[in-house]
Chain A
Amino acid sequence: MASNSSGGGSSDRQRIAQQRLRIIAGHLQGPVDGDSAILAAECKAQGSKTDVCREGKTVPRRRQEIMKWNGWGYSDSKFLFNKKGQAEFTGKRYRLSGMIIPGLKDWMEGTFGANLQHKTPATPLLTSSAVQPATLNKAFLEELKSTGIPFSHDAEDRVFRAHGHCLHEIFALREGKFGRVPDMVVWPNCHNDVVKIVELACKHNVCVIPYGGGTSVSSALECPPEETRSIVSLDTSQMNRILWIDEKNLTAHVEAGIVGQDLERLLNESGYCTGHEPDSMEFSSLGGWVATRASGMKKNIYGNIEDLVIHIRMVTPRGVIEKSCQGPRMSTGPDIHHFIMGSEGTLGVVTEVTMKIRPMPEYQKYGSVVFPNFEQGVACLREVAKQRCAPASIRLMDNEQFKFGHALKPQVSSIFTSFLDGLKTFYITKFKGFDPNRLCVATLLFEGDREKVLQHEKQVYDIAAKFGGLAAGEDNGQRGYMLTFVIAYLRDLGMDYYVIGESFETSVPWDRVLDICRNVKARIIQECKDKGVQFPPLSTCRVTQTYDTGACVYFYFAFNYRGLSDPVHVYEQVEHAAREEILANGGSLSHHHGVGKLRKEWMRDTVSNVGVGMLKSVKDYVDPDNIFGNRNLL
């Protein structure tokens, strides 16, 4: 992730200035009616008194000031091929920033048959005239104005909140095509602002779509094209304070719009962490995690979002839902948190969350193990899970990803020496008889106090040795985890050169892991062939999480689409087929990305008719007018 986000220069200064202005504006706001005056006052009070820290926040209201409107991440960071034809990663934020990646060009040409001569550049600028004019609900707008909650119907603001990061969404943006986009954006500053917005939305029958970090990969943020009401995107990014930290109980009460990197950084300042680190944590928000049932890399120690959450506050058309106490466990009927977690913005807005926190780990250590083949690697992970000794993170890359990781090795840097270099290469490929086309690598991250980490490390390496695994050094592990944050940028580079792709995930019982990996990868290759893709696709996977009874598997799939008239359609057909294959092999519809609209068609088979009925009846009760009308899930 970005080592520090406050180095943004002029745009940052602007942002801070704006933030000040907004606070001042808040002070100047006149009361509209008695109720809201009190609420507004509370809101202010919270802002000024209990806020642990409010400086150094990453996400401005106008996200476009620091982020790309048609690609991943910060505007200043991207992969490109420089004049010498070498790949390079720009900017200063990441450890890879400013470095040359010599192997990437060959890898792209070799893997995809891509060619630097064949470019498919994106439309450089967002043309506002191409955006549908906003359908505004006058009465709603009037009343909203009177609350003083900032809003906008600027085309850029609206387009920015009309999508997540699915391939088809980004592809359309790059072509300068916009479908249905929200008609306006509001930026509530606190829980009470949300209460007001939702009340007004109900009163005037306006559709509200909560927007957190915008990192959704399930079409969850897409506006239903058939929606005729005015659509309001409720951007939670300004609700980003840690309201209090309770060191006795090790909890923190946080506003739901905070993004992962801010949450961790701010807690770190007090010596704590949540340990929740999804790969998207630079941009995804606490509310988004709750709404999608997110999972973080280090869940083995800290748990997934459902394990981390102690209390949730959500504003619904029926009012506010929350529990009355913060007991660590309750037997009070079905857990209402489980109606909220995974609701994907269909029931209301999560505004505040109490989360578990932990003291920051004393010691962290990366590691890696090379296995002669994927089968052995999976067997090792299974054993590690069986012995319940999984490190904070353990991920097993297949051979293609191992090669890919290798291709991303930057030119000069001590931590970037690869184990394939020098003697070790010789050792692995020659002496031990590891076949470079079959071997695979697991990356590890240990956390805790020093002694325990070292003990733990030994235990894991001993198990690995039983499965033919050879320790391959800390550097490889560390590099692997760092790449996590830059890999998302690579897709944009691919798209500059006719290569499109995406990842998708599932969870599956242990006895099915190898079968599902083999079959889904093979299915992708076959479907590409059947659909007329001219070049062999990249079809790879990794096991990213282990559980007692199974694992989470990620698939990466990309191909060169030269010669195809409708590449996105082909892509979607292949992904669809791959999902069918996953389901037929005992995999789940999703481990953590959620259902959104992308995977809706399989919900009924996934949870049964009665299950769908249950969810529906909750929706019908909570939101009878479908104010939260993003049409996810059901």
Chain B
Amino acid sequence: MATEAIYPHRDPMLKKRDDFEDMLEERRNSSDLRYALRCYTPVLYKGLAPCKASMLKSMVLQSDQLHHVIGQVSRETGRAADDVQEEASAILEEMAHCLQLSTVRFFAFTLSKVFKTLFRSICVNEEGIQRLQQAIQEHPVVLLPSHRSYMDFLLMSYILYTYDIALPVIAAGMDFMGMKFVGEMLRMSGAFFIRRSFGGDKLYWSVFSEYVKTMLKNGFAPVEFFLEGTRSRTSKSLTPKLGLLNIVMDPYLKGEVYDINVVPVSISYERILEEALYAREMLGVPKPKESTSGLFKARKVLSEDYGSIHVYFGQPVSVRSLAQGRVNRCQFNLVPRHIPRRPSEEIQSFVNDSAYRLVRAQEENMVLKPWVLLASLLLQNHHQDQTAGQKRGMVLEELTAQAVWLRDMFREYGAFLHWPDHVPPSEVVSSSLSLHRGLVRVCEGRVQLAVEQGGQVKPGEPHSTVTPEEELLSQAVIVLSCASYRNQGLHVFLRPALLASAINAASSNLKQEVFNSFSFLRNMFSNEFILCPGATVQDFEEACYLLVKTGALQVTQQELLVTERGQRTVAFLTSMLDPFLQGYQVVCRFLCEEATENLTEKQFVPAVRKFIIKHLLAGRLRYTEVLSSDLQKNSLAALLRLGAVQKIKAAEQGTLKVNKVMVNSLEDTLGGRLPTQKAVGARL
């Protein structure tokens, strides 16, 4: 249970943030060609054993670990060891990067041109760069950028090249290899390619992990990968994937290096290039396969203004200090270190916790633009309008006033908000709106989401051909796009919002009850948001601390009381979370009402989507964003985790077995129709 103690202040380091510098500025003032050809002499790891990419491969192929696994596979399958060795070598060929400075220079030149047309500025915290430079010399470095766009890793390399920092090697998904030419270009700029799934393939895993570890241990280059595994289509951080993190921490845990520096990098886009693409993907309009020609079709993209990018290189995190007191490294004393073993439970939980900490570090250093606030307000307004059956939008002045209110709240919550204080708020708002004119419409001094235009309907096409469902989906594209900007700021008030919703849901103001309700919601949403495992009490205290600090809440011995002036805050926070609450309930309802015996996992999303569309069209549901397949999958994952739904392994595909009683009770608890206690007793 939460203690009386005031929430301990967050790491002060995170509060004091560095200043940014626009790296495009110089590009606009001097020759791109000279820049691309300039002398590049990065500082290197002090323990670097100089080695060429080709030597790297033979180091991997001759490693004890791979040798061991090849022997094992050969014994198990009866294949000749040479044969397996050859396969290993082929896997490595397919995987390995071949970083070439000339390619990097080519990219440096072309990207300079592209970036200058697309973006107003690319702002980088130079102190972070300096820290990184230091870190690279001391220990092997792992770069962990957030992942919101295809752009991310080219951008990273571009920045590192610009600042004369060792170029990273980057773990990339195999899907790029579909684009032959681009794939090879990326390979030459440092990307190496991993198959998306290779579950039980020992040999593949072994080549892959040895390859990454060899590069890391020898300080060949910083290793870069995306902790979130894939691009977040919603701008919410994704639950971290642990595979690669496990691999890069292994050399430290086994004593092969003294330490490893992990550097979280937060890349925030004022406008995401893939904005509408993502929304369509989540609505079930199939994702276009990444093909080279597809990329070129995106040339239209080049003519638009995508605002600015902020890249924040976070404080390097020492794996040694993360593991201090958590992992007993003696566990590797009794088995040769090159024999692959499943990580112990201790290590799994350590890596998992570390992953969450790192994703949170990414979140906290993510720069938020005024548009994030506007999108949040406009979405809420949109929902209110819908409930009221009106389509009025917001008066511009009102929007500005609310944005200022929200800005101050954001700041008090410690958000990394980039709001130009020297510009009058009205100007900030209008320039923000104009950048995102595809999503909002300003008309007669009122602002609303641009859902009316019918999104994708081409001019000239008669309206009548559009079915209500199509109409709905095209509105949803706008709403989901907007929601993705709102999501950028979600992490800032996620904990207070959970508390606000808990206060709403709890049957009394008793602290214990609110806490129960909080802990229920937190548990429910832990696939949806980044909530560190096992940190319920800490999160609760943080939420209380923030709400008390902003005067929205009074905490007594026994009770939590929302103050007079806190009502507005609590209302705002609650409605932030409401779409998710509603969404999860709808999914529950679907599972209770419509799920058949042999519903497969694959069929789940289309089926639930159909169900939701029906409800939306019937006006029984107001949140279009519930159509997001992301939300649907997350809620299913939560239900699976809680045991309310089970996966049954059937002949071909897993089917979902629904425990209707339980799903029902979860739905009722989410809807506040059932006190939390019951649910707690039932399962949580």
Contact = CB atoms under 8 A, between A and B. Distances in A.
A512 B336 CA distance: 10
Interface in A595-625: 605
A585 B258 CA distance: 10
Given A511-B336, A511-B337, A583 B255 contact: no
Contact of A586 (B255, B258, B259, B328): B255
Contacts of A523: 258
B427 interface: no
A491 B332 CA distance: 36
A605 B330 contact: yes
A279 to B, nearest CB: 28
A586 B258 CA distance: 14
A585 B255 contact: yes
A350 to B, nearest CB: 32
Interface stretch (A69-77, A184-192, A514-522): A514-522
B29 interface: no
B363 to A, nearest CB: 29
Contacts of B259: 522
Given A522-B259, A584-B330, A585-B329, 13 more contacts: A511-B337, A512-B255, A516-B255, A518-B47, A519-B258, A522-B258, A523-B258, A584-B255, A585-B255, A586-B255, A586-B330, A586-B333, A605-B330
A111 B429 CA distance: 62
B256 A515 contact: yes
25 contacts: A511-B336, A511-B337, A512-B255, A515-B255, A515-B256, A516-B255, A518-B47, A518-B258, A519-B255, A519-B258, A522-B258, A522-B259, A523-B258, A583-B330, A584-B255, A584-B328, A584-B329, A584-B330, A585-B255, A585-B329, A586-B255, A586-B330, A586-B332, A586-B333, A605-B330
Interface string B238-267: 000000000000000001101100000000
* 8 A-B pairs closest in CB distance: A584-B329, A585-B255, A522-B258, A515-B255, A586-B333, A519-B258, A519-B255, A515-B256
Which of B259, B330, B332 has most A Cβ within 10 Å? B330
Contacts of B332: 586
A514 to B, nearest CB: 9
A585 B259 CA distance: 13
Nearest to A516: B255
Contacts, number: 25
Contacts of A584: 255, 328-330
Nearest to A514: B256
A543 B336 CA distance: 21
B95 to A, nearest CB: 26
A515 B338 CA distance: 14
A599 B255 CA distance: 22
A584 B324 CA distance: 11
Interface in A516-544: 516, 518-519, 522-523
A585 B329 CA distance: 7
B295 to A, nearest CB: 45
Nearest to B259: A522
Chain B interface mostly: loop
Contacts of A518: 47, 258
A573 to B, nearest CB: 15
B237 to A, nearest CB: 32
Contacts of A585: 255, 329
Interface in A553-611: 583-586, 605
Interface of B: 47, 255-256, 258-259, 328-330, 332-333, 336-337
Nearest to B252: A519
Interface of A: 511-512, 515-516, 518-519, 522-523, 583-586, 605
A37 to B, nearest CB: 56
Which of B255, B256, B328 has most A Cβ within 10 Å? B255
A86 B259 CA distance: 41
Nearest to B336: A511
A516 B254 CA distance: 11
Nearest to A375: B49
A511 B332 CA distance: 12
Nearest to A606: B330
A81 to B, nearest CB: 35
A516 B332 CA distance: 13
Contacts of B333: 586
A162 B275 CA distance: 78
A382 to B, nearest CB: 14
A516 B47 CA distance: 15
Contacts of B337: 511
Contacts of A511: 336-337
A551 B317 CA distance: 34
A512 B337 CA distance: 9
Contacts of A522: 258-259
A583 B259 CA distance: 16
A512 B255 CA distance: 8
B407 to A, nearest CB: 40
Nearest to B333: A586
Nearest to B331: A584
A586 B330 CA distance: 6
A584 B255 CA distance: 8
Nearest to B49: A375
Nearest to A584: B329
A605 B259 CA distance: 24
B681 to A, nearest CB: 40
Contacts of B330: 583-584, 586, 605
A566 B259 CA distance: 29
Nearest to A522: B258
Contacts of A605: 330
A296 to B, nearest CB: 27
B431 to A, nearest CB: 48
Nearest to B139: A522
Contacts of B47: 518
Contacts of B328: 584
Contacts of A519: 255, 258
Contacts of B255: 512, 515-516, 519, 584-586
Contacts of A516: 255
A492 B336 CA distance: 42
Contacts of B329: 584-585
B438 to A, nearest CB: 53
A200 to B, nearest CB: 45
Nearest to B338: A511
A583 B336 CA distance: 16
A521 to B, nearest CB: 9
A581 to B, nearest CB: 9
Which of B259, B328, B333 has most A Cβ within 10 Å? B333
A600 to B, nearest CB: 18
Nearest to A519: B258
Nearest to A585: B255
A431 to B, nearest CB: 20
A401 B459 CA distance: 82
A605 B331 CA distance: 11
A585 B253 CA distance: 9
Nearest to B329: A584
A523 B258 CA distance: 8
A548 B28 CA distance: 65
B261 to A, nearest CB: 13
A512 B258 CA distance: 13
B207 to A, nearest CB: 21
A601 to B, nearest CB: 14
Contacts of A515: 255-256
A471 B34 CA distance: 51
Nearest to A521: B258
A512 B334 CA distance: 12
Which of A516, A518, A605 has most B Cβ within 10 Å? A518
A518 B46 CA distance: 13
A119 B337 CA distance: 48
A173 to B, nearest CB: 35
Nearest to B47: A518
A634 B329 CA distance: 24
A435 to B, nearest CB: 13
A510 B336 CA distance: 11
